[in-house]
Amino acid sequence: MADEPRYRSMREMIVETGLEMIEQELTKGTGGNASARTDDGNVVISPSGVPYDEIPPSEVPVVSLDGERIAGDLPPSSETPMHTAVYAGREDVGAVIHTHSPYASTFASLREPIPASSYLIAYAGHEVPVAGYAPPGSEELANGALDALSEATNACLLANHGVLAVGEGVRDAFENALIVEHCARIHYQASAIGDPVVLTDEEVDELIAGFAEYRSQ
């Protein structure tokens, strides 16, 4: 398939995001994936099974919301159904990041949500909920993740798997994924010492409003 110049900058951003996922230890090897919604309603998504430092931007796949590959020589991520389900169900989402970050994945294996023991949880919502287990790449996983991502939630745990984070753009989604891992680590460490004090819903509501104003500046 020929290179599509209109997707060039977004493809480059997806490759850069994959490299940063490795650098920030949000995943290992070829694990995890990233995508962004295009202006024409399609999805640029990282390819399946290719090391991030070996992905030519011109070959990054572009798919329709139905999952049909319309550009790029590499096969799209096996988690494409999860990404496209989120875009179809959340019109406010412009980017999706899936990671295997260790602390958050620990809570995913416990099937325990990450509560508001850190004020930064407000970037994700009142907590980071857990989507029920389903096989990777399955429609069941896609539907479960979308159910967990309510309109007021920007991240969820995938049971026994990892993290799904969303945002208006790639940088927003990536920052949310980083913050989920940070909050997971803080809660893990606090729980090892004692009983973490969890912020109230009212306190988190105030933080959510403040963060929204901060990001809009």
List active site positions.
Answer: 79
Total length of the chain: 217
Q: Which residue has the tokens 């990054």?
A: 60
Q: Which residues, other chains included, contact 35 with Cβ-Cβ below 8 Å and sequence gap of 6+? A: 14, 43, 44, 45, 46, 77, 80, 83, 95, 96
- CB of 63 within 8 A of CB of 32? no
Whole-angstrom CA distances from 93 to 62, 120, 165, 173 are 17, 20, 10, 9
- CB of 123 within 8 A of CB of 179? yes
Q: Which residue has the tokens 């640029």?
A: 44
Determine the residue type at 95: A
End-to-end CA distance of the chain: 40
Cα–Cα distance, 81 to 65 (Å, whole number) = 9
